[in-house]
């Protein structure tokens, strides 16, 4: 797969994800300093940046785990966590926000699987709880998804009986169970032993080729080069530069990008 | 280290060359002898035997009267009251404790303050005072009694005497228990990893589902042992319900002790043994409840006593076989 | 000590637990009815001394309503038709005055018996309400209880809140272990060097403290101990922590008979008049101040005295020495500085 094979989006179809002038402060610390970003459906975006640059916060703002102080995020053309009220934006009820999150998959660095539920129930829980599927349908789907991530034989296990790589693959299956329009990955391989990174990246790559819209925060430059349609480099809460991997990774225009790549590679 | 390990050993121990009949790797290590431990064990066994012998033969304990009293209807009536009051208060107290804990953790400052004040108040006021106040509720609030909007529990307040005594006891103990339970539950909820809340929120699970199916089951793992402690205290706390004219196990023992003053000691022993039985029963239930909530938290569940006995036996057998082979 | 019991106790308990599980379901219907001591007497008869566990002779007494007296009852009580009688004998009773009887559930004793006799004269249905000592008084205050018959001493302090109708004097006595050689012999000097327990706030406590003061003047020592309950006092006596228990004599007499077969039997070591040197302690029925109940109750007691039922009641409970000549409304009680 190469970037040139992607179908260019027609101007009329809404972007899969749009970030409009998002600012976020932690106390006096300006974590996100005016982020604008637009992701086409099916596009794979890799977000790079030094630690503390705000890339994880950006992901958490996208699915409204964190509220932006200024600006807003739209997924599939629908504002997240807010609704338009005339010219203004009003905060949505917690219930409505929870419903919106069903359309945004999220994969955590530390997996955050539910330890008291079996692998199968971890995956099947959300579709049942949100009333999308019956229990039997959800379990059927969960079995399918677990087979897809290569864990069809571990459905009865509890998360702590699995390796880190296996747990992260379950977490991906769990995110897929709601059939989200977009999936966010927050450093999905950072908590893994080096020999387990490959199996998780393989699953993500499989998703990328199947046309799912992905936003991935990672430090795996090689992986970025391989799967990304676009690389976004963030530093100090701003997007420093973005573009196809060949451009950003091999011919960075900014000093800061060059510094970062020199340290990581 | 370029030397083979065998060479290092021979240097350290310096045995005469050629006397080692086996390579050291295959040699069985003889366990350390512990004569001190054996002596201590024997001494303790002798003391225990003496105590048991003393208990059985000392006429002071009047074991024949113990046998007479142990299953008397009046004692069993009291035991039933103890069980009823403790069970109802444990359930209502836990429910109240969950609500209070949620109040403490809520975003509303008013709810937080009310929960905190409730817990502070009922942990400070002696249970006896709560019971006496409730029992004499009509005396204290004679003119207010109709106007106070106190929910359905108080509607039955003056209907039947028996129901009233029981209701007052249960309400009083539950009010008290809820204050302690709220702290236990709050601690349990706080012990659940923040990532679990985030994962549940990120999946868009409804709020109630998040609490009931994700947070609470994990919190219960640390709530259980603490709440069982509370529960055992509660079972003994029921001995105060004579303040609302209800005779529990200990109350029955005290009443019978004054009618049959020659039997005070065996009666106290009867109460002691019943409390031992209740505590033991609760501990057994605790073990299995904890085991249930340990699913997923540990890679393997703690073995049940039966499983433990079985593996212990198998291990001993294997060791014997091994030792016989050497 | 309890942990020494665990092995033996547990074995015993586990075998019994099975039996109890089976019993528990059948008992569910009959818990805690100890204050429902209703009698099956025919009209015009009150039986006293029932279920006394050897403390009394069961005697049937003829009593019927005296209209002249019942007419003086407050209207609210007369129209209700019941007399709610408070007895503060929880959790441990004070036999033979008020305690749970030999069926191990019915409230009996000399005090409830007199209350039932009084109710009969007043033409009211007696309803006994057993509670703790404190709750008995709060019950009178709140109107839950009409009148208490519970060995309550008439004191000036209590008169501020309550009306009294006196009905009995009390004798006090010493109880010692049977193997003890000590005797009171009517002389307080015999108490020198002894440790004696007494109940808080009682007539006998006052007497004992007076003797203690006198002995002190003579350079001798009497140690006075108080315990939380009767049961713990008796444990201290049988355990040798105290030499004697100075208590109401009917209680001492009951206790001596009851412990005769136990490993540490006791005996009476002499009695003393509860009137003491300067005091006349009186036991009285206690009602709320100005409730209008004390007068008809005193009349009813006097009716029972005049017609002989009073004497028979005392005789049935072996309390004849405590008889009063007549019942008085609010007689002089223990002065304020004594109570």
Domain count, chain A: 1
Q: In terms of CA atoms, which chain C residue is nearest residue B272?
A: C2
**Spatial contact of C37 and C107, defined as CB atoms under 8 Å apart:** yes
CA dihedral for B80, B81, B87, B91, sign (positive or negative)? positive
Among C135, C141, C263, beta carbon nearest to B60: C263
Residues of chain B in contact with residue C139, where contact means CB-CB under 8 angstroms, are 136, 139
Rg of the Cα trace of chain C? 21
* Count, residues in chain A: 265
B158 to chain A, any CB pair closer than 8 A? The answer is no
Closest by Cα among A257, A201, A194, A243 to A226: A201
Q: What is the mean pLDDT of chain B?
A: 83
Residue B213 to residue A161, Cβ atoms within 8 A: no
Q: What is the mean pLDDT of chain A?
A: 91
Give the residue from A57, A95, A98, A103 with the most B CB atoms within 10 Å of its CB, the best one to mutate. Answer: A98
Residues of chain A in contact with residue B203, where contact means CB-CB under 8 angstroms, are 101-102, 106, 125-126, 129, 174-175, 178
pLDDT score, position B146: 43
How does DSSP assign A125-178, residue by residue? Answer: HHHHHTTSS-HHHHHHHHHHHHHHTT-TT-TTS-GGGS-HHHHHHHHHHHHHTT
Structural domains in chain C?
45-170+281-338 (3.40.190.10), 171-273 (3.40.190.10)
Give the residue from B188, B191, B198, B202 with the most A CB atoms within 10 Å of its CB, the best one to mutate. Answer: B202
Residues of chain B in contact with residue A185, where contact means CB-CB under 8 angstroms, are none
pLDDT score, position C217: 94
| Position C4 pLDDT exceeds 70 | no
Full residue range of the structural domain in which residue B125 is found:
61-311
Q: Which of B219-233, C7-21, C122-136 has the lowest mean pLDDT?
A: C7-21
- The residue assigned the tokens 């249960």 is B170
Mapped onto helix, strand or coil, the DSSP state of residue B310 is helix
Any domain includes B38: no
| Position B7 pLDDT exceeds 50 | no
| Position C262 pLDDT exceeds 60 | yes
Strands, sheet with C162-169, edge to edge from the N-terminal-most edge strand = C125-132, C82-90, C147-148, C282-288, C162-169
Report d(CA B215, CA B200) in Å as an integer: 9
Residue C101 to residue B259, Cβ atoms within 8 A: yes
Q: In terms of CA atoms, which chain C residue is nearest residue B83?
A: C24
Q: In terms of CA atoms, which chain B residue is nearest residue C232?
A: B264
Q: Which residue has the higher pLDDT, A183 or B244?
A: A183
Any domain includes A110: no
- State the pLDDT confidence band at B326, using cuts at 50, 70 and 90: low
Residues of chain C in contact with residue B62, where contact means CB-CB under 8 angstroms, are 262-263
Residues of chain A in contact with residue B204, where contact means CB-CB under 8 angstroms, are 98-102, 126, 130, 178
Among B77, B142, B274, beta carbon nearest to C30: B77
Domain count, chain B: 1
CA dihedral for A97, A98, A100, A106, sign (positive or negative)? positive
- B225-248 per-position pLDDT tens digit: 999 999 999 998 888 888 888 889
Q: Which residue has the higher pLDDT, B305 or A158?
A: A158
CA dihedral for C144, B158, B165, C115, sign (positive or negative)? positive
Residue A112 to residue B218, Cβ atoms within 8 A: no
**Percentage of chain A with pLDDT > 90?**
83
Any domain includes B298: yes
Residues of chain C in contact with residue B161, where contact means CB-CB under 8 angstroms, are 35
Residue B277 to residue C13, Cβ atoms within 8 A: yes
| Position B18 pLDDT exceeds 90 | no
Residues of chain B in contact with residue A125, where contact means CB-CB under 8 angstroms, are 203, 205, 213
- A65-92 per-position pLDDT tens digit: 999 999 999 998 899 999 888 888 888 9
Give the residue from C11, C22, C31 with the most B CB atoms within 10 Å of its CB, the best one to mutate. Answer: C31
CATH code (residue B255): 1.10.3720.10
Residues of chain B in contact with residue A102, where contact means CB-CB under 8 angstroms, are 203-204
Terminal Cα distance for chain B, rounded: 32
| Minimal CA separation from B59 to chain A, in Å | 55
| Position B147 pLDDT exceeds 60 | no
pLDDT score, position A8: 45
Among C91, C229, C265, beta carbon nearest to B247: C91
Report d(CA A127, CA A103) in Å as an integer: 11
| Position B5 pLDDT exceeds 50 | no
Any domain includes A129: no
Any domain includes A30: no
Average pLDDT over residues B64-91: 93
- State the pLDDT confidence band at B2, using cuts at 50, 70 and 90: very low
- State the pLDDT confidence band at C274, using cuts at 50, 70 and 90: confident
- State the pLDDT confidence band at C162, using cuts at 50, 70 and 90: very high
CATH code (residue A219): 3.40.50.300
- B254-293 per-position pLDDT tens digit: 989 888 988 888 999 999 999 999 999 999 999 999 888 8
pLDDT score, position B29: 83
**Spatial contact of B261 and C261, defined as CB atoms under 8 Å apart:** no
| Position C42 pLDDT exceeds 50 | yes
Residue C90 to residue B251, Cβ atoms within 8 A: yes
**Spatial contact of C170 and C274, defined as CB atoms under 8 Å apart:** yes
Residue B203 to residue A174, Cβ atoms within 8 A: yes
How does DSSP assign C68-90, residue by residue? Answer: HHHTTS-HHHHHH-EEEEEEEEE
- A15-65 per-position pLDDT tens digit: 899 999 999 999 899 999 999 999 999 999 999 999 889 999 999 999 999
- By the 10 Å C-beta count (0-12 exposed, 13-18 middle, 19+ buried), A84 is classed as exposed
- State the pLDDT confidence band at C257, using cuts at 50, 70 and 90: confident
- Which residues, in sequence order, are CB contacts of A229 under 8 Å at separation 6+? A3, A6, A43, A44, A45, A244
Residue A108 to residue B203, Cβ atoms within 8 A: no
| Position C25 pLDDT exceeds 80 | no
Residue C262 to residue B263, Cβ atoms within 8 A: yes
Residue A129 to residue B206, Cβ atoms within 8 A: yes
Report d(CA C187, CA A219) in Å as an integer: 100
Residue B201 to residue A101, Cβ atoms within 8 A: yes
Phi, psi of A198 (to 5 degrees): -55, -45
Residue B203 to residue A115, Cβ atoms within 8 A: no
Full residue range of the structural domain in which residue A244 is found:
3-12+40-61+94-103+180-264
Q: Which two tokens stand for residue A185?
A: 């990955």
| Minimal CA separation from C88 to chain B, in Å | 10
Any domain includes B216: yes
Report d(CA C3, CA B52) in Å as an integer: 11
B199 to chain A, any CB pair closer than 8 A? The answer is yes
Q: Which of A170-184, B199-213, B216-230, B292-306 has the lowest mean pLDDT?
A: B292-306
- A120-170 per-position pLDDT tens digit: 999 999 999 999 999 999 999 999 999 999 999 999 999 999 999 999 999
| Position B304 pLDDT exceeds 60 | yes
Any domain includes B185: yes
Average pLDDT over residues B143-147: 42
Helix (H) or strand (E) run with residue C13 in it: helix C6-27
Interchain touch A–C (≥3 Cβ pairs closer than 8 Å): no
């Amino acid at each position: 797969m190469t970037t040139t094979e992607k179908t260019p989006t027609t101007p009329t179809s809404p972007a899969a994800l749009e970030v409009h002038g998002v600012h976020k402060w932690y106390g006096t610390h300006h974590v996100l300093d005016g982020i604008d970003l637009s992701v086409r459906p099916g596009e794979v975006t890799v977000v790079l940046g030094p630690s503390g640059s705000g890339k994880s916060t950006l992901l958490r703002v996208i699915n409204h785990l964190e509220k932006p102080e200024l600006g807003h995020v739209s997924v599939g053309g629908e504002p997240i966590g807010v609704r338009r009220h005339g010219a203004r934006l009003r905060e949505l009820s917690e219930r409505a926000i929870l419903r919106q999150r069903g359309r945004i998959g999220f994969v955590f660095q530390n997996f955050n699987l539910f330890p008291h539920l079996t692998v199968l129930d971890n995956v099947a829980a959300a579709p049942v709880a949100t009333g999308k599927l019956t229990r039997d349908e959800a379990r059927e789907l969960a079995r399918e998804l677990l087979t897809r991530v290569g864990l069809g034989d571990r459905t009865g296990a509890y998360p702590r009986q699995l390796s880190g790589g296996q747990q992260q693959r379950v977490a991906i299956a769990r995110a897929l169970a709601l059939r989200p329009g977009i999936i966010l990955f927050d450093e999905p391989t950072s908590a893994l032993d080096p020999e387990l990174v490959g199996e998780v990246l393989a699953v993500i790559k499989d998703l990328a080729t199947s046309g799912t819209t992905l936003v991935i925060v990672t430090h795996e430059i090689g992986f970025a080069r391989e799967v990304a349609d676009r690389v976004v480099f963030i530093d100090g809460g701003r997007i420093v530069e973005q573009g196809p991997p060949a451009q950003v990774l091999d011919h960075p225009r900014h000093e800061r990008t060059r510094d970062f790549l020199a340290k990581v590679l | 280290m370029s030397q083979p390990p065998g060479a290092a050993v021979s240097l350290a121990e310096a045995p005469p060359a050629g006397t080692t009949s086996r390579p050291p790797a295959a040699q069985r290590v003889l366990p350390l002898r512990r004569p001190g431990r054996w002596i201590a064990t024997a001494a303790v066994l002798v003391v225990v035997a003496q105590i048991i012998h003393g208990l059985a033969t000392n006429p002071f304990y009047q074991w024949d009267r113990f046998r007479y009293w142990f299953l008397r209807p009046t004692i069993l009536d009291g035991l039933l009251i103890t069980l009823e009051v403790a069970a109802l208060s444990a359930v209502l107290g836990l429910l109240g404790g969950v609500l209070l804990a949620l109040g403490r953790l809520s975003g509303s400052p008013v709810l937080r303050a009310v929960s905190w004040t409730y817990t502070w108040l009922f942990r400070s006021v002696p249970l006896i005072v709560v019971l006496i106040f409730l029992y004499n509720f009509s005396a204290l609030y004679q003119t207010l009694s109709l106007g106070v909007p106190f929910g359905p529990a108080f509607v039955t307040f003056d209907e039947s005497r028996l129901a009233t005594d029981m209701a007052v006891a249960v309400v009083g103990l539950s009010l008290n228990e809820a204050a302690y339970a709220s702290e236990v539950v709050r601690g349990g909820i706080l012990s659940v990893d923040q990532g679990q809340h985030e994962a549940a929120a990120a999946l868009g699970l409804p709020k109630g589902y998040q609490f009931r199916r994700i947070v609470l089951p994990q919190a219960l793992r640390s709530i259980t042992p603490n709440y069982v402690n509370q529960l055992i205290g509660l079972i003994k706390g029921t001995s105060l319900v004579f303040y609302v004219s209800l005779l529990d196990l200990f109350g029955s023992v005290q009443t019978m002790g004054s009618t049959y003053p020659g039997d005070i000691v065996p009666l106290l022993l009867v109460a002691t043994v019943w409390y031992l039985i209740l505590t033991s029963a609760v501990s057994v239930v605790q073990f299995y409840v904890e085991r249930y909530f340990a699913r997923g938290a540990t890679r393997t569940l703690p073995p049940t006593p039966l499983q433990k006995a079985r593996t212990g036996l198998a291990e001993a057998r294997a060791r014997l076989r091994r030792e016989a082979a050497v | 000590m309890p942990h020494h019991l665990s092995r033996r106790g547990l074995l015993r308990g586990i075998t019994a637990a099975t039996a109890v599980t089976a019993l528990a379901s059948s008992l569910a219907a009959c818990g805690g009815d100890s204050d429902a001591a209703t009698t099956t007497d025919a009209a015009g008869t009150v039986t006293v001394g029932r279920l006394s566990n050897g403390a009394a002779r069961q005697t049937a007494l003829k009593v019927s309503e005296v209209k002249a007296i019942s007419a003086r009852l407050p209207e609210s009580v007369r129209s209700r038709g019941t007399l709610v009688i408070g007895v503060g004998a929880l959790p441990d009773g004070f036999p033979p005055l008020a305690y749970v009887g030999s069926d191990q559930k019915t409230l009996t004793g000399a005090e409830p018996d007199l209350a039932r006799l009084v109710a009969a004269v007043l033409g009211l249905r007696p309803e006994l309400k057993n509670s703790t000592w404190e709750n008995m008084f709060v019950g009178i205050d709140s109107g839950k209880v009409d009148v208490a018959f519970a060995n309550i001493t008439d004191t000036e302090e209590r008169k501020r809140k309550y009306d009294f109708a006196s009905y009995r004097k009390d004798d006090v006595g010493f109880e010692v272990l049977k193997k003890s050689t000590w005797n009171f012999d009517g002389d307080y000097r015999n108490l020198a060097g002894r440790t004696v327990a007494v109940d808080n706030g009682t007539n006998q406590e006052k007497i004992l403290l007076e003797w203690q003061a006198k002995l002190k003047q003579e350079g001798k020592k009497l140690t006075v101990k108080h315990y939380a309950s009767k049961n713990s006092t008796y444990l201290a006596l049988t355990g040798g922590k105290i030499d004697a228990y100075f208590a109401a004599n009917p209680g001492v007499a009951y206790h001596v008979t009851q412990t005769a077969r136990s490993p540490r039997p006791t005996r009476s070591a002499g009695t003393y008049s509860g009137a003491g040197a300067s005091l006349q302690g009186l036991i009285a029925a206690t009602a709320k101040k100005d409730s209008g109940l004390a007068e008809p109750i005193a009349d009813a007691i006097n009716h029972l005295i005049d017609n002989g039922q009073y004497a028979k009641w005392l005789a049935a409970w072996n309390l004849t020495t405590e008889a009063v000549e007549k019942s008085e409304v609010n007689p002089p009680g223990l002065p304020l500085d004594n109570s």
